[in-house]
């Protein structure tokens, strides 16, 4: 019932069915992704994946972001999805009590590559992307009980392939049955482990989702088959990924199907566009440190102790108390907090091996006292974090952060949002005029008659 109803929704929904606010939100998300992927393509793991794709010498169907070449749709999506996740600066989708990872960086690279191959319109791309987000979200909500289970699988890679398959199936104009087949294939291609957070392999989750979403849809289009009701079938998606051996709850399936497009989850709860280039869980400490610096003019060298109060459920995440690489540094709550205290900002260039090993940062991190707190479930997926700073003169200041900058409850201003895009393209040394042209085309994407003309600008 769930798989069939989802496939029906995908089949019958087109661009003209999208409310204007949904289309507007999609364009904003696309710009955010493009900026982040451009910057990520010039980072070590972005360069490695681009070089691997280039060496394959595949058919030239789609542009590789940050590269001066094209590749097959699948390989271009692999590269572009990976680059979009490198900086952990890509958007997040969070519901009360559950965070569903990073949707756009798995969905959009697949949709963009196939749109370029098919010479699809901007409207086609927007509709496919929005449907991908909707499938990603509603399937994730069906499996929401897995969020706090510690199963070890990661939403971005697992749900990403479902969203990517949805988007590509829409672009290919697959019928309801073939979409069901594609989703069944996608679930067998879904993967990603949280244990790889802080390593390059974690970046691959998004690229793999994008590539596999394309493969699943093209296979289904050619008649490849799968289970017809993959999400609710015994030993299907729900049972395997939640670990619950009982049937998928009928009431929850019906509730999520009724909620398809009502509301569109790109609007409610909306996407988090990150204000800092690090893991979502690291944003709370960064935000607290910046607020304390601004309000009390704190000199980090006068700090005697930092009491960092975090939800007990996150204590396992502070494993990178002494990060060795920039990638580990993005997942180090202590490193990100101290970087904000010392510099008054956290930037893309802060996450290198040299920067995480600076004496000043290590000195301040040694003063952190970790305190786990039992919290009532709040509106966000990670609870709140609180920082209490004790200075050498005996004074003490504290700051609690429930929603760091960038979350829908505390969004960036338009100026801050655009500054992030400009900083990303500048970091990658993209020509300012080209970067501005890309931005203008995205904001008017519904008027673009052939995506290939837009995609060509994304190569370096």
Which pLDDT does position 383 carry in this prediction?
A: 87
Domain harbouring 385, CATH code:
3.30.1330.120
Nearest residue to 337 (alpha-carbon basis) of 328, 349, 346: 346
Do 223 and 103 share a structural domain? yes
Mean pLDDT taken over the chain: 94
Strands 70-71 and 62-63: antiparallel
Average pLDDT over residues 160-166: 98
Please, what's the largest Cα pairwise distance for the chain? 73
Number of domains in the chain: 2
The reply to whether 129 falls in a domain is yes
Span 247-269, pLDDT tens digits: 999 999 999 999 999 999 999 99
**Distance in angstroms (rounded) separating the CA atoms of residues 326 and 43:** 11
Instruction: Please determine, for residue 162, whether its predicted confidence score (pLDDT) is greater than 70.
Output: yes
Do 286 and 434 share a structural domain? no
The reply to whether 223 falls in a domain is yes
The reply to whether 406 falls in a domain is no
Do 207 and 334 share a structural domain? no
The reply to whether 98 falls in a domain is yes
| Rg of the chain over all Cα atoms, to the nearest angstrom | 22
Q: Are 446 and 23 in contact (CB under 8 A)?
A: yes
Do 301 and 220 share a structural domain? no
Average pLDDT over residues 151-160: 91
Average pLDDT over residues 212-240: 97
The reply to whether 168 falls in a domain is yes
Which pLDDT does position 147 carry in this prediction?
A: 74
Domain harbouring 196, CATH code:
1.10.4100.10
Do 359 and 334 share a structural domain? yes
Do 231 and 189 share a structural domain? yes
455-458's contacts with Cβ under 8 Å and 24+ in sequence apart are: 455/62, 455/63, 455/112, 455/115, 455/116, 456/63, 458/34, 458/38, 458/63, 458/65, 458/66
Range of the domain at 287: 280-401
How is residue 247 annotated by DSSP? P
244-247's contacts with Cβ under 8 Å and 24+ in sequence apart are: 244/145
Give the rounded distance of the alpha carbon of 126 from its chain centre: 17
The reply to whether 414 falls in a domain is no
144 contact partners, CB below 8 Å, separation of at least 6: 95, 97, 98
Which pLDDT does position 422 carry in this prediction?
A: 97
Which pLDDT does position 57 carry in this prediction?
A: 93
- Output the six-digit token pair for 328: 């580990």
The reply to whether 180 falls in a domain is yes
Do 431 and 302 share a structural domain? no
Do 10 and 59 share a structural domain? yes
Strands 303-311 and 62-63: unpaired
Nearest residue to 341 (alpha-carbon basis) of 315, 302, 309: 302
Do 175 and 139 share a structural domain? yes
Span 311-367, pLDDT tens digits: 887 766 556 788 999 999 999 999 999 999 999 999 999 999 999 999 999 999 999
Do 112 and 41 share a structural domain? yes
**Residue 201 neighbours by CB distance under 10 Å:** 15
Among 374, 401, 428, residue at a domain's last position: 401
The reply to whether 167 falls in a domain is yes
Which pLDDT does position 351 carry in this prediction?
A: 95
């Amino acid at each position: 019932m769930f798989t069939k109803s989802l496939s029906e929704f995908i089949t019958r929904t087109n661009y003209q069915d999208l409310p204007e606010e949904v289309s507007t939100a999609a364009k904003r998300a696309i710009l955010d992704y493009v900026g982040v992927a451009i910057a990520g393509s010039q980072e070590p793991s972005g360069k490695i994946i681009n070089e691997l794709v280039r060496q394959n010498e595949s058919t030239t169907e789609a542009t590789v972001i940050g590269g001066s070449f094209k590749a097959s749709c699948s390989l271009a999506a692999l590269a572009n999805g990976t680059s979009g996740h490198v900086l952990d600066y890509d958007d997040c989708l969070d519901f009360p009590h559950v965070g569903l990872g990073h949707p756009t960086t798995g969905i959009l690279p697949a949709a963009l590559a196939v749109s370029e191959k098919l010479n699809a319109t901007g409207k086609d791309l927007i509709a496919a992307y929005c449907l991908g987000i909707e499938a990603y979200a509603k399937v994730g909500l069906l499996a929401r009980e897995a969020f706090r289970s510690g199963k070890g699988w990661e939403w971005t890679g697992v749900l990403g392939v479902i969203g990517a398959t949805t988007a590509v199936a829409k672009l290919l104009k697959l019928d309801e049955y073939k979409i069901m087949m594609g989703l069944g294939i996608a679930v067998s291609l879904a993967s990603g482990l949280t244990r790889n957070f802080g390593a390059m392999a974690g970046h691959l989750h998004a690229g793999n989702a994008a590539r596999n979403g394309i493969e699943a849809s093209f296979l289904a289009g050619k008649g490849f088959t799968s289970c017809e009701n993959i999400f609710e079938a015994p030993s299907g998606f729900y049972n395997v990924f939640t670990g619950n051996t009982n049937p998928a709850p009928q009431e929850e399936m019906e509730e999520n199907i009724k909620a398809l497009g009502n509301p569109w989850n790109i609007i409610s709860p909306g996407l988090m566009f990150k204000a800092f280039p690090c893991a979502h869980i690291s944003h709370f400490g960064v935000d607290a440190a910046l607020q304390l610096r601004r309000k009390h003019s704190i000199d980090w060298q006068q700090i005697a102790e930092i009491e960092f109060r975090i939800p007990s459920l996150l204590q396992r995440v502070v494993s990178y108390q002494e990060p060795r690489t920039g990638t580990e540094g993005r997942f180090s709550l202590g490193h990100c907090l101290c970087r904000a205290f010392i510099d008054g900002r956290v930037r893309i260039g802060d996450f290198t091996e040299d920067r995480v090993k600076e004496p000043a940062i290590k000195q301040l991190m040694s003063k952190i006292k970790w305190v786990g707190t039992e919290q009532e479930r709040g509106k966000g997926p990670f609870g709140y974090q609180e920082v209490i700073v004790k200075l050498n003169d005996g004074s003490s200041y504290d700051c609690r952060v429930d929603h760091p900058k960038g979350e829908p409850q505390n969004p960036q201003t338009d100026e801050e949002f655009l500054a992030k895009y400009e900083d990303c393209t500048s970091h990658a040394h993209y020509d300012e005029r080209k970067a501005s042209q890309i931005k203008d085309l995205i904001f008017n994407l519904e008027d673009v008659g052939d995506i290939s003309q837009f995609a060509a600008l994304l190569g370096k």
